[in-house]
Amino acid sequence: MALPQRSNPGAAPGGGQSYREIAERMKKVQEEQRLVVERMRRIPYKVAVLSAKGGVGKSFVTASLAMALATMGKVVGVFDADFHGPSMPLMLGLSQVKGLLARDDGSIVPAVNVYGVRLVSVGLMLPSEEAPVIWRGALKTTAIRQLLAYTDWEGAEYLLIDLPPGTGDEQLTIAQTIPGLTGFLLVTMPSEVSKIVVKKAAAFAQKLNVPLLGIIENMSYFRCPDGSIQYIFGKGAAEEIAKEFNVPLLGQIPIDPRIREATDAGVPFFLEYPDSEAAKVFLEIARKFVEIVESKGGKSNNARGSEQP
C-alpha cells in the first residue's frame, strides 16, 4: 500500500516550522554566538553587576563605576541588560539619544557620553521613556545574544553589564553567552530582606562557577548634620555575606540625597561633589574594583564559556 504523501516534505509533524526553517534558525544562532565570542575576546574585562532586589542602587553603581573608570583613562562600554527598567541612558546622561546607529556591515554603534562611556541599551530604542518592554524570556535571550554579537565596542577594555534584579533569564544568559566573563559584582543594602535575597544571588554565581569579584553595600548609613551616624536600614549584612561567601567587601556607601539628584541629571556625583563622604568612599571602591578585576588577568581568563580556540 502506498504511503500518503506529505504536501510539504520539509514540514515537521504537527504542522510547526519546517525542519529546514529550524535548521536555518539554528545556524543563525550558532553564527551569532560565534560573533559574540569573537567580539568578547577583544574586551579584556567583562563584569556583570548583579543585585538580588531592585532599588538597592545597582544601576547607580554601574553608571558611576563606568564613569569613574573612564576618568581613570579606561575605555569603557556599558551593556544595559535591564530591558524592563533600563536606567543607563538617564544615569549616563544619554537620555536625549533616540536610536542606535548601524554601519553598512551590520555592526551597531554604541551611544557615547561626554566621559567617553559607550552605551547599548534597549532604552535608547524605545519610542518614549514610558514605553514598556513586553518580552518573554526567549526573546530577551535572543536580544542579549544579538546585541552582543553585533555591537562594535570600539576598543573597550571594560564591559560593564547592568543586569535586572534577581537570578532569572538575563543573568543566566549573560553567564552562559559571554565567554570568559571576569565575574559578578554584587550590590546590596543592609536590610534583612536584602541580605536573605542577596545570599541567593551569591549562591547563584557560585553554582554557575562565575567568580564573585566583590560586594558593594549601598545606603549603608546616613550621617546626620551633627556628625552622628544613623543605620537606617540596619547594620552588618554585607560583612556577613562577604564572610560567608569569601568575597571582598569593596565598601559601604552612605545615603546622600545628592546621589539621587546627580543620577537623575546623568552626571557623576563623585565629580559634582568630590568632597562628600559618599564620593570618597565610592572612588576607593572603584580603585579596589580595578585592582581586583585587573589581577584576574583579562583575556587569559577566557577558559570558561563556549569560546572556540
Q: What's the rounded Cα separation, in Å, for the pair 15 and 290? A: 54
Comparison of 149 and 281: residue with beta carbon closer to ligand ADP? 281
What's the rounded Cα separation, in Å, for the pair 92 and 81?
Answer: 15
- Cβ nearer to ligand ADP, comparing 113 with 218: 218
Adjacent-strand bridge partners of 159:
46, 77
User: Of 6-14, 51-59, 169-177, 203-211, which part binds ligand ADP (CB under 6 A)?
Assistant: 51-59
What is the nearest approach in angstroms of ligand ADP to the Cβ of residue 81? 12
Q: Rule CB under 6 A: choose which of 76, 255, 283, 286 binds ligand ADP.
A: 255
Residues 33, 15: Cα–Cα separation, whole Å:
29
Place of cell 559584582: 185
274 binds ligand ADP (CB under 6 A): no
Q: Give the footprint of ligand ADP on residues 77-96 (CB under 6 A).
A: 87
Residue closer to ligand ADP by CB (options 92, 253) is: 253
DSSP conformational letter for 6: P
10, 16, 54, 274: which one binds ligand ADP (CB under 6 A)? 54
Told to check if 168 binds ligand ADP by CB under 6 A, we report no
Cα–Cα distance measured from residue 245 to residue 209, given in angstroms and rounded to the nearest whole number: 13
Residue 130 neighbours by CB under 8 Å, 6+ apart: none
List Cβ neighbours of 73 (8 Å cut-off, separation of 6 or more): none
Q: Residue 201 interacts with ligand ADP (CB under 6 A)? A: no
Residue 121 touches ligand ADP, criterion: CB under 6 A: no
Is residue 277 close enough to count as binding ligand ADP by CB under 6 A? no
Locate 102 and state its grid cell: 548601524
| Residue choice 39, 46, 58, 195 for contact with ligand ADP (CB under 6 A) | 58
* Residues in region 218-237 near ligand ADP by CB under 6 A: 218-219
Give the nearest distance from C-beta 106 to ligand ADP in angstroms.
31
167 touching ligand ADP, by CB under 6 A: no
Read off the amino acid at residue 95.
Answer: S
Q: Integer distance in angstroms from the first to the last C-alpha of the chain?
A: 53
Among 57, 89, 251, 266, binds ligand ADP (CB under 6 A): 57
Smaller CB distance to ligand ADP: residue 50 or 149? 50
CB 54 within 8 A of CB 191: no
171 binds ligand ADP (CB under 6 A): no
Cα separation, 205 vs 134, whole angstroms: 27
Q: Which stretch binds ligand ADP (CB under 6 A): 28-36, 38-46, 53-61, 73-81?
A: 53-61
Give which of 307, 221, 29, 62 is closest to 143, Cα–Cα. Answer: 29
Going across the sheet that includes 118-121, the strands are: 111-112, 118-121, 76-80, 158-162, 45-51, 183-188, 212-217, 249-252
Member of 52, 178, 253, 285 binding ligand ADP (CB under 6 A): 253
List contacts with ligand ADP (CB under 6 A): 51, 54-60, 87, 218-219, 253, 255-257, 259-260, 263
